[in-house]
Amino acid sequence: MHFTQELELFPGKKVTQLLFKEVKNAAVLRKSAVEGKINGALINPTMLVSPFQVLVAANKAVHLQTIEKMKTRSLYSEIIFNLSPTNNISEAFKRFGISDGDDSVMVVVVHDKDESQLLSDITSKVEGRQVPVEDVSSLSDAAKIKKLYKVTPAEETCGTLLDAVICRMAIKDVL
């Protein structure tokens, strides 16, 4: 049910995503993440259009980590920051990180070896029902996403919402 993709630019490095619904312990999870006890980024899936969006953010985070140019303190916070269309770090966490009352969560892990141990660590911590990662599109709040990324109706005539989101994430540092 999880989805693992290798980063072509960083051979051996992989990104694994796990999606959970009916989550009961979001507040505990968030606290563990803040304390660094969870080895992953906890993302609010309503702000995601597709797992590809997460991959784009993760690839950029690993790139910036490699060249020592991250804007935040850890790889996982950098992934969340990269999802945001703006350069405001606290706003990025508010919109794209999970909040205490959330009932769904996307967990993102960057790793280089086999993921089985990592996955069981995560699934043991989340009190919720794991669902296929592709189901994230059924949780997305398209209206909120369009508003936050300032996607114009004209733009949707020449591409998908995902295209619009990806472009802004890739370009935000030079806007």
Partner 1 sequence: MAQHGGTAAVLEAAELLKQGAEARLYRTRFLGRPAIVKQRFPKRYRHPLLDEKLSQRRTAQEVRSILRCRRAGISAPVVYFVDHTSHCIFLEELVGSSTVRDYIGSHRDLELDRLAERVGQILARMHDEDVIHGDLTTSNMLLRRGTEDGKVDLVLIDFGLSYISALPEDKGVDLYVLEKAFLSTHPNTEALFQKLLDSYARSSNKSAAVLKKLDEVRLRGRKRSMVG
* Residues of the shown chain interacting with partner 1 in the complex, contacts defined by CB under 8 A: 5, 7-13, 52, 55-56, 59-60, 63, 66-67, 152, 154-155, 157-159, 163-164, 166-168, 170-171, 173-175
Q: How far apart are CB 24 and partner 1 at their closest, in Å?
A: 32
For residue 109, give Cα distances in angstroms to 7, 14, 45, 51, 171: 12, 8, 15, 13, 24
Say if residues 162 and 170 touch (Cβ distance below 8 Å): no
* Minimum CB distance to partner 1 smaller for 129 or for 150: 150
Measured in degrees and rounded to the nearest 5, phi and psi for residue 91 equal -65, -40
Q: Which is nearer to partner 1, 55 or 105 (CB)?
A: 55
> What minimum distance in Å lies between the beta carbon of 121 and partner 1?
25
Least CB distance to partner 1 at residue 3 (A):
10
Query: Largest Cα–Cα distance in the chain?
Result: 46
| Minimum gap (Å) between residue 172 Cβ and partner 1 | 10
